[in-house]
Amino acid sequence: MSSKKYDKLSIKKKSFWEEQKSTEIKKAFKLAEEYKDFLSKAKVEREAVKEIEKYAKKHKLKYYKNNEKSIAVIKKGKQKLAKGIKIIGSHIDSPRLDLKPYPLYEDTNLALLKTHYYGGIKKYQWVNHLLSLHGIVILKGGKKIEVIIGEKENEPVFTVADLLPHLASKKQGERELFKGIEGEEMNILCGSIPINDKKVKEKIKIAVLEKLNKDYGLTETDFASAELQAVPAGKPRDLGFDKSMIAGYGQDDKACAFTSLKALIEAKNKQTIIAIFYDKEEIGSTGVTGAQSRFIAYVIEELIKESKEKTSLLEVMKNSEAISADVTAGVNPTYKDVMDLQNSVSIGYGIGLEKTTGYGGKYDGSEATAEYIRKLIDLFDKNKIKWQTGELGKVDEGGGGTIAKYLAHYGVNIIDAGAPVLSMHSPLEITSKADIYETYRAYKIFLEN
């Protein structure tokens, strides 16, 4: 058998940069600029909902919000709901440091804020980083104060101060890497000038409270009704001599949130299509704003009421198709031994499909059917979309979950598909502009067919 015949039998992976025309590469770089802008404005859930709502209003699309922390955007089609709809679900929460209910304290002439980390992080990665504070405070009487401190050049930033190496050999050197920094050690440095009052005991703490009261009307009691989150300060940046990659916070999963929103706006759809953006995925999709809530059911039932069709939620969902739009782990060449390279995805090679999620024998995961996978990859091949498939590391190395299993509970066919990421859950995640572009294209084609 000739080598050409063998080529038809085996997989030959080529990157986006090797195969795509210069016109497509220019489009990828252009889309990346809009994505970076979205990423810088949507660091926490409430900000993401605001940005998504702006897009929806600009394009006159119907939307429903859930407690200002999750949102569904709808583009109606002419086809009856009972024949099925298309759904792309992503999440807009990311790992971070949340302030505790009463965070502010003073110790050895410094003011600090106690935190409780949110989501799965390697805690040692989050020290000695410039941090900004984002969130809201509800004052007595219900007035809502929005807080963003540390994103503008003239604003102060914050940090978790680490121990210098000269004194760390016993305190930290004997710890395992993951325990190099303990959760209760992640205290944010936030002030050092004392108030000029000899009668006050905690002079620096009171000075910080006085500043917060002057700027926001906040008292210490108001921390109890606040959502204040510390995230990496600054905007995303181009990475690499060739500027082919994006370095920035929160790309898990705003890489998929942005591309699914953009795809929905531009899709020429026959069916009704929905892009839904959830909170709380990083801690198990729990709570009123997570994927385990009945938010998607509420949205579809509202659409059924408006259409006046004689159908039901479960009938609509049974005939529907969905994508769980979540990023996946790209191969890191320095640590490639944790991956099964034959069944892994790489940055720059297009959208990553994951048939299976979960861990330890596919436990607590979701698994797409063979028929559904074949349908999607044929669709992507027909439209020359770069796709790849794999799993999240070697079988017993780890694993992870997404929102897929919660939408699957309704009987909808679903698969995980999203952009590969390096340094996931760190303060500085990395994606390829090629994969952002191909993920957007894949979502758009899915919504249109």
The whole-angstrom separation of Cα 238 and Cα 32 is 9
143 and 257 both lie in a single domain: no
Q: Which residue range(s) make up the domain with 226?
A: 96-232
190 and 281 both lie in a single domain: no
Question: Residue with structure tokens 């005991």?
Answer: 201
Does residue 118 belong to any structural domain of this protein? yes
The whole-angstrom separation of Cα 159 and Cα 209 is 18
CATH of the domain at 119: 2.30.250.10
Question: What pLDDT was estimated at residue 359?
Answer: 85
Domain count, the chain: 2
Tokens read off for 437: 């572009």
Does residue 173 belong to any structural domain of this protein? yes
Q: To the nearest 10°, the Cα dihedral for 412, 417, 421, 424?
A: 10
Note whether 339 and 331 are within 8 A (CB). yes
What does the DSSP assignment read for 367-432?
B--HHHHHHHHHHHHHTT--EEE--SSSTTT-EE--SHHHHHTTT-EEEEEE-EEBSTTSSSEEEE
Question: What pLDDT was estimated at residue 124?
Answer: 95
48 and 141 both lie in a single domain: no
Does residue 7 belong to any structural domain of this protein? no
The whole-angstrom separation of Cα 112 and Cα 357 is 39
Note whether 150 and 131 are within 8 A (CB). yes
Does residue 100 belong to any structural domain of this protein? yes
196 and 300 both lie in a single domain: no
Q: Are strands 413-418 and 321-324 parallel, antiparallel or unpaired?
A: parallel
Does residue 379 belong to any structural domain of this protein? yes
272 and 152 both lie in a single domain: no
- Find, among 287, 271, 278, the residue nearest to 253 by Cα: 278
Tokens read off for 439: 């993920």
Residue at which a domain ends, from 232, 265, 281:
232
Burial of 284 (0-12, 13-18, 19+ CB in 10 A): middle
Please list, in sequence order, all residues whose beta carbon lies within 8 angstroms of the beta carbon of residue 426, skipping any fewer than 6 positions away: 121, 122, 125
Does residue 2 belong to any structural domain of this protein? no
Question: What pLDDT was estimated at residue 317?
Answer: 97
- Find, among 412, 431, 433, the residue nearest to 85 by Cα: 412
344 and 424 both lie in a single domain: yes
Question: What pLDDT was estimated at residue 158?
Answer: 98
Q: How many CA atoms lie within 13 A of 167 on its CB side?
A: 3
CATH of the domain at 325: 3.40.630.10
80 and 164 both lie in a single domain: no
Q: What sections of 162-277 are H helices per DSSP?
A: 168-171, 203-216, 251-266
Note whether 88 and 325 are within 8 A (CB). yes
Question: What pLDDT was estimated at residue 1?
Answer: 52
Question: What pLDDT was estimated at residue 434?
Answer: 98
353 and 288 both lie in a single domain: yes
Question: What pLDDT was estimated at residue 425?
Answer: 97
193 and 311 both lie in a single domain: no
262 and 318 both lie in a single domain: yes
Spans of the chain below 70 pLDDT: 1-3, 5
Alpha-carbon separation of residue 355 from 175, 217, 376, 416 (angstroms)? 37, 51, 11, 7
Task: Tell me the whole-structure pTM to 2 decimals.
Answer: 0.96
Residue at which a domain ends, from 186, 201, 232:
232
Question: What pLDDT was estimated at residue 206?
Answer: 96
Note whether 176 and 164 are within 8 A (CB). no
385 and 256 both lie in a single domain: yes
Quick one: how many helices (H) and strands (E) in the chain? Answer: 12, 22
Residue at which a domain ends, from 177, 207, 232:
232
Alpha-carbon separation of residue 86 from 73, 75, 180, 229, 355 (angstroms)? 12, 10, 45, 33, 18
Q: What sections of 13-97 are H helices per DSSP?
A: 16-19, 22-41, 45-58
Note whether 121 and 357 are within 8 A (CB). no
Does residue 6 belong to any structural domain of this protein? no
The alpha carbon dihedral of 275, 278, 284, 286 has a sign of: negative
424 and 298 both lie in a single domain: yes
Does residue 325 belong to any structural domain of this protein? yes
